[in-house]
């Protein structure tokens, strides 16, 4: 009964719920003959499934009131009659006993026979009634496939739903979470996709690349998902459920332990202050950023305001959102990124071209903004107006060349001038920075760092573009490697160029929030990290336990490594050295 499917964990957390398939159930028909000694067991399974289907129909009939009762009730009665039909049941039993068909194959056989009879009828109305046969047999197949125990059914009735689908767009996730969906299992996708990033924001456990999920999970199956390990347990046992309860207890305990770090400094063991900023896109992220003592918002993704709607948000709507963000951070710095639509963040407003062969290499980020300057102007004006309420920096995504930054700078200055002359109070000086996420920008950075007030390294895209590996393609997940020597060299080079030019560098890709990389990033000289606020306390704990000078001192050795394995080996040594007690215990 119990079985497990594996995918990749994309948003941590566990969830126990009823599967809700986005694709209609397809039943697996087992065509192998039943062994003589198993005939009785198979007949019993079939009878149980028929009884369950009848009970479900009776329960459905009970629930109907008013108009619905007379209109739909007749159909349900007809279905109940078909299910109770002696000939149908005797035919099924014969197929199992004599033909040695398994229950699911017998049902399919009976269905095909009856449908053939209906199809041969002259009367079009009667002919169309073959649908009833499909519904009735489908219900029994579903009950057969479920074969859940009484306890499991009781539990399933109490829990919410987990969506099982092939893919889900970022814009669909918010309404799903609002409607109480507990988790998501996808047959495709990657933990780096924007849907996965958003699921983490929504604290919605998600598993991606569980290729077999739609084939093996049925509607209403009780499933337990573990977004950390990436597994889905179908028909979980009491032991699995105990594991889930333990996890719930652990979450509370870990939360209590980490909560002690909320007001703590982020400082390496040798006393170097490190800044941990929050990535944000939803109002809840702001509250969480404040609650865990973030140094500010290092990346505010504005595209989520553009999803799920037909009309573009105007200046006033955007201004109010940015103002609330700035006010919510109570004087801490906020970095607002201009629109980064395109690639997998396709919207419904018609902004994004949908006929591009390679959207990740297409009109996205600043390329889209500069082709639609009016769009950028509205956004820049809204951001500029928010600067009156607290410190704000403007960050530009997908930058490849100095010219793009000059164009944005020009528009920013124009907008500031217009706003001031219209009487708006805006900050005197507005810092403008670039996301370094295209290898060309990283390599050529020395040539245009002077044009930038600060930079943010977007490793999610930098890895994708450096390694030519689509961040959303689960077939290439093993090639998507932030530890590739080429990626590390680009990060080290970018940090080096920016630091020498006196510009601040924040790293805001998913690497920043993953404690596996904390020692590495400190060794590369990074001091400003930006991550999902839910990960901030863990990173603080990791930073506080490491000695930065030991890590930075070994940078050359790290850079000499030419393979991922070599890098991992050096890192392991380094971590041990950097977390050894400063004073050896007596």
* 538 lies in the site for Mg ion, by CB under 5 A: no
**Burial per residue of 467-500, b for 16 or more beta-carbon CB atoms within 10 angstroms, e otherwise:** bebbbbbbeebeebbbbbbebbebbbbbbbbbee
**Pattern 506-545, ligand PEP, x by CB under 6 A:** --xx------------------------------------
- CA atoms of 72 and 67, how far apart (whole Å): 8
Which of 415, 484, 508, 532 is flagged as catalytic?
508
390 within 8 A of 426, measured Cβ to Cβ? no
Instruction: Give the sign of the dihedral formed by CA 243, CA 246, CA 250, CA 251.
Output: positive
Selection from 276, 281, 306 nearest residue 292 by Cα: 276
Please state the closest distance from residue 456 (CB atom) to ligand PEP, in A: 7
Residue 301 interface partner, choices Mg ion, ligand PEP, none, CB cut-off 5-8 Å depending on type: ligand PEP
Please state the closest distance from residue 506 (CB atom) to ligand PEP, in A: 10
Give the residue nearest to ligand PEP (CB): 458
- CA atoms of 94 and 90, how far apart (whole Å): 6
Please state the closest distance from residue 512 (CB atom) to ligand PEP, in A: 9
Structure token digits, residue 135: 């519904």
Nearer to ligand PEP, 107 or 438 (CB): 438
Nearer to Mg ion, 341 or 520 (CB): 341
Near ligand PEP by CB under 6 A: residue from 141, 369, 460, 506: 460
Please state the closest distance from residue 173 (CB atom) to ligand PEP, in A: 15
- Order of strands, edge to edge, in the sheet holding 161-165? 3-6, 231-234, 222-226, 14-21, 161-165, 183-186, 206-208, 8-11
Does residue 415 have an active-site annotation? no
- CA atoms of 105 and 32, how far apart (whole Å): 9
Which of 79, 194, 235, 484 is flagged as catalytic?
194
Structure token digits, residue 18: 């009823």
Residue 508 interface partner, choices Mg ion, ligand PEP, none, CB cut-off 5-8 Å depending on type: ligand PEP
Structure token digits, residue 475: 């077939």
531 within 8 A of 288, measured Cβ to Cβ? no
Nearer to ligand PEP, 12 or 129 (CB): 12
* Residue 469 CB contacts under 8 Å (≥ 6 apart), including other chains: 463, 476, 479, 480
**Pattern 416-445, Mg ion, x by CB under 5 A:** ---------------------x--------
* 340 lies in the site for ligand PEP, by CB under 6 A: yes
H/E run at residue 234: strand 231-234
Nearer to Mg ion, 172 or 437 (CB): 437
**Pattern 462-501, ligand PEP, x by CB under 6 A:** ----------------------------------------
* 191 lies in the site for Mg ion, by CB under 5 A: no
Structure token digits, residue 81: 């009659």
577 within 8 A of 558, measured Cβ to Cβ? no
Near Mg ion by CB under 5 A: residue from 461, 474, 510, 547: 461
Binding site for ligand PEP (CB under 6 A): 197, 299, 301, 340, 437, 458-461, 508-509
Catalytic residues: 194, 508
> Which residues contact Mg ion (rule: CB under 5 A)?
437, 458, 461
């Amino acid at each position: 009964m119990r079985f497990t499917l594996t995918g990749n964990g994309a948003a941590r957390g566990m969830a126990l719920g009823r599967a809700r398939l986005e694709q209609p159930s397809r039943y697996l028909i087992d065509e192998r003959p039943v062994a003589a000694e198993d005939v009785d067991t198979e007949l019993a399974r079939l009878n149980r499934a028929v009884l369950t289907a009848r009970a479900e129909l009776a329960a459905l009939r009970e629930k109907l009131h008013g108009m619905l009762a007379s209109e739909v009730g007749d159909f349900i009665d007809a279905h109940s009659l078909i299910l109770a039909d002696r000939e149908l049941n005797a035919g099924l039993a014969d197929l199992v006993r004599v033909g040695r068909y398994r229950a699911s194959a017998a049902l399919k056989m009976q269905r095909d026979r009856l449908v053939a009879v209906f199809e041969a009828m002259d009367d079009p109305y009667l002919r169309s009634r073959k649908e009833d046969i499909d519904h009735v047999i489908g219900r029994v197949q579903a009950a057969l496939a479920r074969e859940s125990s009484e306890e499991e059914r009781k539990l399933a009735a109490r829990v919410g739903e987990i969506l099982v689908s092939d893919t889900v767009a970022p814009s669909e996730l918010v309404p799903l979470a609002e409607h109480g969906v507990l988790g998501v299992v996808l047959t495709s996708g990657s933990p780096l996709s924007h849907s996965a990033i958003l699921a983490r924001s929504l604290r919605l456990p998600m598993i991606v690349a569980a290729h077999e999920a739609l084939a093996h999970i049925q509607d209403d199956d009780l499933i337990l998902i573990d977004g950390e390990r990436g597994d889905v347990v179908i028909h979980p046992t009491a032991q699995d459920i105990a594991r889930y309860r333990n996890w719930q207890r652990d979450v509370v305990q870990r939360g209590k332990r980490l909560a002690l770090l909320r007001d703590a400094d982020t400082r390496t063991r040798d006393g170097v202050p490190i800044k941990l900023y929050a990535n944000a896109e939803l109002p809840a992220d702001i509250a969480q950023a404040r609650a865990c003592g973030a140094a500010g918002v290092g990346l505010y993704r504005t595209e989520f305001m553009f999803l799920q709607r037909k009309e573009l948000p105007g200046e006033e709507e955007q201004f109010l959102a940015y103002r609330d963000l700035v006010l919510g951070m109570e004087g801490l710095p906020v970095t607002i990124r201009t629109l980064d639509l395109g690639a997998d963040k396709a919207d419904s407003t018609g902004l994004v071209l949908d006929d591009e062969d390679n959207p990740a290499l297409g009109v996205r980020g600043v390329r889209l903004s500069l082709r639609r300057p009016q769009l950028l102007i509205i956004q820049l004006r809204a951001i500029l107006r928010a600067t009156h309420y607290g410190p704000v920096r403007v960050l530009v995504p997908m930058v490849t060349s100095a010219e793009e930054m000059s164009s944005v700078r020009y528009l920013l200055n124009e907008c500031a001038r217009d706003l001031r002359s219209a009487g708006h109070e805006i900050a005197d000086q507005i810092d403008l920075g670039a996301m370094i996420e295209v290898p060309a920008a990283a390599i050529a950075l020395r040539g245009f760092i002077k044009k930038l007030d600060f930079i943010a390294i977007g490793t999610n895209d930098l890895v994708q573009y450096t390694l030519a590996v689509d961040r959303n393609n689960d077939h290439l997940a093993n090639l998507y490697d932030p530890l590739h020597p080429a990626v590390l060299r680009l990060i080290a080079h970018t940090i080096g160029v920016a630091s020498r030019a006196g510009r601040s560098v924040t790293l805001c890709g998913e690497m920043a929030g993953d404690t596996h990389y904390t020692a590495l990033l400190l060794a590369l000289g990074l001091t400003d990290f930006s991550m999902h606020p839910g990960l901030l306390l863990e990173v603080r704990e990791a930073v506080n336990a490491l000695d930065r000078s030991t890590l930075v001192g070994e940078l050359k050795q790290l850079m000499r490594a030419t393979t991922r394995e070599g890098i991992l080996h050096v890192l392991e040594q380094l971590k041990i050295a950097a977390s050894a007690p400063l004073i050896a215990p007596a």
